[in-house]
């Protein structure tokens, strides 16, 4: 980071170039080039595991353990064909469908219940709101493992083991404080006049929430939806505890079957399944990266 200050000064002074022409490889260009190369190398290192995974899906199973290089000696799509058969008598599409059902339902529940709670915290004044807000912030830091045992006992008593209820019910009850907090922060940034005008015109809180607030906080809703989808899609612990029949497994638990069962015998299928499970997330990321990065950034700065 040497000389960072002077570079900034030069940034602003474009006219300087006109006054005194310099050689093409001036100091600024060289620094930029070094900057670019350093970051490109770093990117390559960071992304390499994913590249390796992609290439490994085209290696025949027999090559694992011998050819650990990037490029397969005899590229094949056998792994993908094999993986379609699934595992434990359940076809692969079923795991995808299960994951999609859980993730979509969880996302709807999270966004809806978190937005409602956030509206109450940010815009309605009633007794107890301050205490509840503090409690909500407290749960932001609460280790999830403190509640898993009683929750398990409870869902067991309610006869909900091996159903999706234990995975989805908490999402419809705004238990993930991260999203409530994100939306509260966003709502606070919206001028009160916007919704107070509606209230003066006689709109109740339900109308104000539905037709004024929700449209205004759309970016926060989208960010929350994407995060909620990705986190649920990746979630391992909850389905590991609650889902017992293979035909109800979401992808992470199905992957675990591959991982446990195969030493090197069918490594190709394990790798291909792992990659397929990541594809939806990577696509989401490519499309929505701006929302995600902005969402993370505001989390740390506001508040």
Partner 1 sequence: MVTSTAHRVDEDTRQKAPAPHHAEVAVSQKQRHWRESLAGYGFLAPWLVGFFGLTLGPMLYSLYLSFTRYNLFQPPQWIGFDNYIRLFTDDPNFTQSVKITLIYVLVGTPIKLAAALGVAMLLNYRDRGAGFFRSSFYAPSLIGASVSVAIVWRAMFSADGPVDNTLSIFGITIGGWVGNVALVVPMMILLAVWQFGAPMVIFLAGLKQVPRELYEAADMDGAGPVKKFRSITLPMLSSVVFFNLLLELIGAFQVFSSAYIISNGTGGPAGMTNFYTLYLYKRAFSDGQMGYASAMAWVLLIVVAIIAFVLFRTSKSWVHYQGENR
Site for partner 1 in 142-161 (CB under 8 A): 142-154, 156
Distance of alpha carbon 36 from alpha carbon 18, whole angstroms: 26
Closest approach of partner 1 to the CB of residue 48, in Å: 8
Distance of alpha carbon 59 from alpha carbon 70, whole angstroms: 10
Residue 19 or 46 having the CB closest to partner 1: 46
Q: Residues 72 to 111: which contact partner 1 by CB under 8 A?
A: none
The verdict on 299 binding partner 1 (CB under 8 A) reads yes
Among 21, 141, 191, 245, binds partner 1 (CB under 8 A): 141
The verdict on 186 binding partner 1 (CB under 8 A) reads no
Residue 33 or 77 having the CB closest to partner 1: 33
Among 29, 236, 247, 287, binds partner 1 (CB under 8 A): 236
Helix axis angle for 218-234 and 177-188, nearest 10°, is 170
The verdict on 223 binding partner 1 (CB under 8 A) reads no
Among 1, 18, 19, 200, binds partner 1 (CB under 8 A): 1
Among 26, 29, 69, 88, binds partner 1 (CB under 8 A): 69
Q: Which long-range contacts (CB under 8 A, 24 or more apart) does 188-197 make?
A: 188/122, 189/302, 190/216, 190/217, 192/123, 195/123
Closest approach of partner 1 to the CB of residue 262, in Å: 10
Using CB under 8 A as the criterion, what x/- string covers residues 5-44 for binding partner 1? xxxxx----------------------x--xx-xx--xx-
The verdict on 165 binding partner 1 (CB under 8 A) reads no
Closest approach of partner 1 to the CB of residue 37, in Å: 12
């Amino acid at each position: 980071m040497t000389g960072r200050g002077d570079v900034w000064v030069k940034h602003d002074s474009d006219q300087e170039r006109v006054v005194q022409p310099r050689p093409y490889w001036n100091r600024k260009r060289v620094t930029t080039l070094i900057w670019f190369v350093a970051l490109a190398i770093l990117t390559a290192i960071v992304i390499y595991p994913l590249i390796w995974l992609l290439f490994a899906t085209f290696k025949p199973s027999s090559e694992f353990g011998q050819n650990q290089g990037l490029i397969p000696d005899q590229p094949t799509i056998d792994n993908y064909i094999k993986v379609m058969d699934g595992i434990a008598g359940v076809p692969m599409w079923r795991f995808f469908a299960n994951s999609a059902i859980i993730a979509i339902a969880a996302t709807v529940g999270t966004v809806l219940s978190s937005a409602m709670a956030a509206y109450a915290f940010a815009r309605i004044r009633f007794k107890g709101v301050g205490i509840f807000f503090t409690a909500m912030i407290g749960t932001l830091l609460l280790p999830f493992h403190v509640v898993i045992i009683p929750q398990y006992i409870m869902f067991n008593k309610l006869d909900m083991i091996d159903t999706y209820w234990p995975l989805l019910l908490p999402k419809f009850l705004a238990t993930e404080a991260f999203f409530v907090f994100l939306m509260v922060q966003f709502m606070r940034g919206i001028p009160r006049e916007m919704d107070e005008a509606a209230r003066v015109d006689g709109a109740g809180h339900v109308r104000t929430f539905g037709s004024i607030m929700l449209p205004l906080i759309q970016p926060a809703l989208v960010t929350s939806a994407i995060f909620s989808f990705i986190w649920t899609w990746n979630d391992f612990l909850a389905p590991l505890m609650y889902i017992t029949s293979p035909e109800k497994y979401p992808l992470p638990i199905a992957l675990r079957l591959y991982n446990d069962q195969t030493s090197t015998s069918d490594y190709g299928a394990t790798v291909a399944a792992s990659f397929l499970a990541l594809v939806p997330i990577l696509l989401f990321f490519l499309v929505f990266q701006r929302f995600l990065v902005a969402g993370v950034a505001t989390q740390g700065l506001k508040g």
